[in-house]
Amino acid sequence: AQSVTQLGSHVSVSEGALVLLRCNYSSSVPPYLFWYVQYPNQGLQLLLKYTTGATLVKGINGFEAEFKKSETSFHLTKPSAHMSDAAEYFCAVSEEGSGNTGKLIFGQGTTLQVKP
Amino acid sequence: DTGVSQDPRHKITKRGQNVTFRCDPISEHNRLYWYRQTLGQGPEFLTYFQNEAQLEKSRLLSDRFSAERPKGSFSTLEIQRTEQGDSAMYLCASSLVKRDRAFAEQFFGPGTRLTVL
């Protein structure tokens, strides 16, 4: 069974500082990995995804994440935080391969606070 | 904008009442998913459709829950005899899965927030 663990339910950084949100996954098959962002009272927006190929993936709004199979991790980073980055972030995993359901298994989320 | 839409956005009901939510996916998307998100948690998969066929249901989906996608376009999620524990955000997502592709991005709607008093 697949699962996702996000370390730290709340992360606070100063504007301009590095953002690091941690995600570890468990999967018995090669995973597809995702980061989503959710603003208050809104649905989820895809930030970036890893399916195959390059393990360092770049997403929208300056975010990137690196798939490390040996560490079963997919941490999200951004070099310089902006006030508009304050939101809830979810890491998710899905199964690879044809015939898959595509259903997403989410972590519990990390709230990012950005201080001026 | 032709994104995923959900109606209503908010629903307040009394315990024991029935409620129905609607999801309109992106046009021509053949897959539709329902997720439930409780406060402070990530979304949890409930069920999904490939066209009009419901292919998988989570154990979270008790007998009081039923979902349909009669013509392979919009979908409805009904909860009968609501309980306070049903209070949550119900999210719908759609994707276009092609025969030769293993991955299809899911696009999420804004959700329906249900409060059961």
Q: How far apart are CA A21 and CA A63, in angstroms?
A: 11
What pLDDT score was predicted for residue A27?
82
What pLDDT score was predicted for residue A21?
98
> What does the block give as tokens for B8?
């209503």
C-alpha distances in Å from residue B7, one per residue of A48, B29, B82: 27, 18, 18
Q: How far is B109 from chain A (nearest CA, A)?
A: 5
* Nearest Cα residue in chain B from A94: B103
> What does the block give as tokens for B104?
């299809």
What is the rounded average pLDDT for all residues in chain B? 92
A→B interface, C-beta within 8 Å: 4, 9, 32, 36, 41-46, 49, 51, 90, 92, 94, 96-98, 100-109
Q: Quick count: other Cβ atoms within 10 Å of Cβ A87?
A: 20
B56 chain-A contacts, CB cut-off 8 A: 101, 103
pLDDT in tens, B12-35: 999 999 999 999 999 989 999 999
Q: In the predicted model, is pLDDT for residue A43 greater than 90?
A: no
What pLDDT score was predicted for residue B101?
60
pLDDT in tens, B69-110: 998 899 999 999 999 999 999 999 999 988 766 678 899 999
Higher pLDDT, B40 or B76: B76
Of A94, A101, A105, the CB nearest to B56: A101
Q: In the predicted model, is pLDDT for residue A28 greater than 90?
A: no
| Interchain contact, A102 vs B33, CB within 8 Å | yes
Residue found by looking up tokens 């439930």 in the block: B36
Q: Please name the residues in contact with A116: beta carbons below 8 A apart, sequence gap of 6 or more.
A: A14, A15, A83
pLDDT in tens, A60-103: 999 999 999 999 999 999 999 999 999 999 999 987 654 578 88
C-alpha distances in Å from residue B113, one per residue of A22, B11, B15, B38: 28, 6, 15, 10
Q: How would you classify the pairing of strands A110-115 and A10-14? A: parallel
* Cis peptide bond N-terminal to B25, omega within 30: no
Q: Are A94 and A105 in contact (CB under 8 A)?
A: yes
What pLDDT score was predicted for residue A2?
82
Q: In the predicted model, is pLDDT for residue B1 greater than 60?
A: no
Q: How would you classify the pairing of strands A31-38 and A87-95? A: antiparallel
Q: Are B61 and B114 in contact (CB under 8 A)?
A: no
Q: In the predicted model, is pLDDT for residue A107 greater than 80?
A: yes
Q: Are B45 and A103 in contact (CB under 8 A)?
A: yes
Of A46, A101, A107, the CB nearest to B55: A101
Q: In the predicted model, is pLDDT for residue B65 greater than 90?
A: yes
